[in-house]
Amino acid sequence: MAVPSQTGIDEGTLVAQAREGDTGAFGELVRRYEGKIFRLAQHVTQNREDAEDVLQETFMKAYEHLDQFHGDSKFYTWIVRIAVNQALMKLRRRKTDKSVSLDETIDTGEDTILREVAAWDEDPEQRFSREELGKILNSAIQSLEPPYRSVFVLRDIDELSTEETAEALDLSIPAVKSRLLRARLQLREKLTRFFKRKGDDAFAYM
């Protein structure tokens, strides 16, 4: 007998069914969000194997502690917080992360990063294919420190709201806005310097 599809069931119903022991419902939640969680984990850890571990650990912990999810936020917001914690634990275990902790308070008046950025001399799309541009942008994102990478991915790639991002990362809304601004400015600066190379050894920069 065929198993009924759960594709059209809303998230709240799936979570309720999963809490009652329906593994199929939880499997549908995994299917819906595993791609985003993996991408986030890979951005934070910068390592595919670690990201795969984080993905598995995130959903295992979510399943084990499903009774602690009370529906005050979106399920995705809740698992993002778990994923970020797991990814940062990976970084700490590797002892290679020299960046600022996600828990550090950020001064929102960081005027030191507000500097003029030169305009590109020509349209980058005239010099690089769309695939090449994607690789260049991804490399620039990967070069951001984890606190800024996480905020940028959630806000500008996964398109969470500022409030959802703050809740997922356990940050204040001003801290999210500050980190997002810093991430965007750093990315723009990196890309500006990259494209200003005018092709001579340009790819050696990143």
- What's the whole-number mean pLDDT along residues 136-158? 84
Q: Using a pLDDT cut of 70, give the percent of the chain over it.
A: 70
Q: What average pLDDT does range 162-187 have in this prediction?
A: 88
Q: What is the spatial distance between Cα 192 and Cα 175, in angstroms, rounded to a whole number?
A: 25
DSSP code per residue over 54-92: HHHHHHHHHHHTGGG--SSS-HHHHHHHHHHHHHHHHHH
Give the model's pLDDT for residue 95.
62
pLDDT of residue 97: 45
Per-residue pLDDT for 116 more than 80? no
| Helix (H/G/I), strand (E/B), else coil: 7 | coil
Exposed (0-12), middle (13-18) or buried (19+): which is 21, by Cβ within 10 Å?
Answer: exposed
* pLDDT (tens digit per residue) in 36-51: 999 888 888 888 888 8
Show the tokens assigned to 6.
């759960």
Q: What Cα–Cα distance (Å) separates residue 115 from each residue in 110, 151, 178, 182, 189?
A: 11, 21, 15, 11, 9
Q: What does the alpha-carbon distance between residue 194 and residue 90 come to, in Å, rounded to a whole number? A: 30
End-to-end CA separation in angstroms for the chain: 54
Mind listing the domains of the chain with CATH numbers? 11-94 (1.10.1740.10), 111-204 (1.10.10.10)
CA 196 to chain centre: 28
Q: In the structure, what pLDDT confidence band is assigned to residue 58 with cuts at 50, 70 and 90?
A: very high
Q: Mean pLDDT over residues 5-27, rounded? A: 83
Alpha carbon distances (Å) from 104 to 27, 155, 177: 35, 19, 14
Which residues touch 45 (CB under 8 Å, ≥6 apart)? 51, 54, 87, 90, 91
pLDDT (mean) for 99-117: 39
Helices and strands in the chain, H and E counts = 8, 0
- Residue 106's closest CA among 70, 147, 165? 147
